[in-house]
Structure 1
Amino acid sequence: MLLTLEGVLTPDDVCEARRLLAGAAWEDGRSTAGAQAVTVKNNQQLAQDGEPARTLRALVLQGLERHATFFSAALPRNVFPPMFNRYAGPANSYGNHVDAAIRYAPAGRVRTDLSCTLFLCDPDEYEGGDLVVESAAGERRVKLPAGDMVLYPSTSVHRVEPVTRGARVASFFWVQSMVRSEEQRRLLFEMDRALMHLRSTVGEMDAGVVALTGTYHNLLRLWAET
């Protein structure tokens, strides 16, 4: 399931992120690529141990914390500390690849169930730079407004098309879900969306809503790893 999430960062958050990035030092993105990805990765990344990256990480995590749809869709157990990349000039693309199954964070290992790209530039600020995610249903091209995010299975082959004008800047990170199965996560998400609709139309204490809420939580109890 590929899902776009609007407004993970507020307009004020985006302005603050741009201010922090304005004077930031970028380094070769290949330093964090695996053996396969390093052959097709050609971008820049923000130094992970610098003050801009630390402040920006907190900003992104705060945005995720208040975004109900992110929690409903991802059911996060662990979130890899957000990183930041830039595509522009000669460092302008990332060819087809699959993200590594395990990422090593300071707090421990994170299994990459879901990949996330949070856009920090608007689409009219650059040309090219589409995130292309392959699936059995075909390719999906993603290019979102600043502050919006796309969430998709880390098992997907994906790429970033060459940027031919301007600069594409984004945050990227991974989520280890409490529910490992993509199919089970999708079913829980669809049930949660349906329950939200029912609550708004027939009320929180309707007998059917109470029963379906119990079913949702019993399935989550059955499938979740905490």
Structure 2
Amino acid sequence: MLIQIADVLSPDELDEIRATLAAAPFEDGRATAGWSARLVKDNEQVREDSATLRLLRERIAAAIRRNPVFEAAVRPKALTPLLVSRYGVGRSYGSHVDNPLMGELRTDVSFTLFLAEPEQYEGGELVIESPAGEEAYKLPAGHLVAYPTTALHRVDPVTAGERLVAVGWAQSWIRDAARREILFDLEAAKRDLFEREGKSAAFDLLAKSAANLVRMWAE
């Protein structure tokens, strides 16, 4: 399932993060790419050994994990350490698939959290490929797009300004993307029914079925 999530970061959080980034040390982003992705990756990332990156990871990961839509859609068991990336003019990331394993985690869901407003740069769209075609994403700052890590994707060249993003990966309690989508739909239905009827017999049956599916599918 591919999903866009609005307002993962508040305006105040964005201001603090961007102020921190203004003084952050950056390095060549190819250092964290796989052997084939390294050939098409052309960006910069906040330096892996910097205290700045540790601080940014804590702030951003906490905001992501407390977002109820992210929790319902992704069902994260664990997140990888986030990367904070910068794309200046002419920089891009060619078509690639993300590593299936990162550290001790299996990567089920990839996500990009946009930190620059779309009008602050030209180009730089995240393009996700599928058998149905390509979809391009360039979301407002503070918004996030999450998608199955199985997908080929790329970042188109930036032609003006500067693209800033935080990217990461989740191992989900629910490995299969189709099952995650079923559980997400059931969660939405549960909440809608509860708002209309309260804790009714129908709500209890729906909640029971959703919980039991999690028990069947979780790993």
If the TM-score is normalised by the length of the shorter chain, which range does it land in? over 0.9
The CA distance in 2 between the partners of 1:96 and 1:175, in whole Å, is: 20
> What's the % identity of the aligned pairs?
43
Q: Deviations over 1:127-169 (max 9, x none)?
A: 0000000112221111011111100000000000000000001
Structure-1 residue corresponding to 2:99: 100
Partner SS, residue 196 of structure 1:
helix
The alpha-carbon deviation at position 66 of structure 1 amounts to 1.7
Structure-1 residue corresponding to 2:147: 152
The CA distance in 1 between the partners of 2:126 and 2:98, in whole Å, is: 14
Structure-2 residue corresponding to 1:87: 87
1:120 is the counterpart of 2:119: no
Structure-1 residue corresponding to 2:207: 213
Structure-1 residue corresponding to 2:63: 63
Q: TM-score, normalised by structure 1?
A: 0.95
Structure-2 residue corresponding to 1:73: 73
The alpha-carbon deviation at position 195 of structure 1 amounts to 1.0
Unaligned stretches of 5+ residues in structure 1: none
Q: 4+ runs of 1 displaced by more than 6 Å?
A: none
Partner SS, residue 179 of structure 1:
coil
Question: Aligned match of 2:180 in 181, 185, 208?
Answer: 185
Aligned residues, how many?
A: 219
Partner SS, residue 49 of structure 2:
coil
Q: Deviations over 1:206-225 (max 9, x none)?
A: 10011000000000011001
The alpha-carbon deviation at position 89 of structure 1 amounts to 2.8
The CA distance in 1 between the partners of 2:34 and 2:99, in whole Å, is: 7
Q: Deviations over 1:109-142 (max 9, x none)?
A: 1111000100100000000000000112221111
The residue type paired with residue 212 of structure 2 is: N
Q: TM-score, normalised by structure 2?
A: 0.98
The CA distance in 2 between the partners of 1:11 and 1:66, in whole Å, is: 16
1:51 is the counterpart of 2:45: no
Query: Aligned ranges for residues 3-42 of structure 1 at < 5 Å?
Result: 3-42=3-42
The residue type paired with residue 87 of structure 1 is: Y
Partner SS, residue 56 of structure 1:
helix
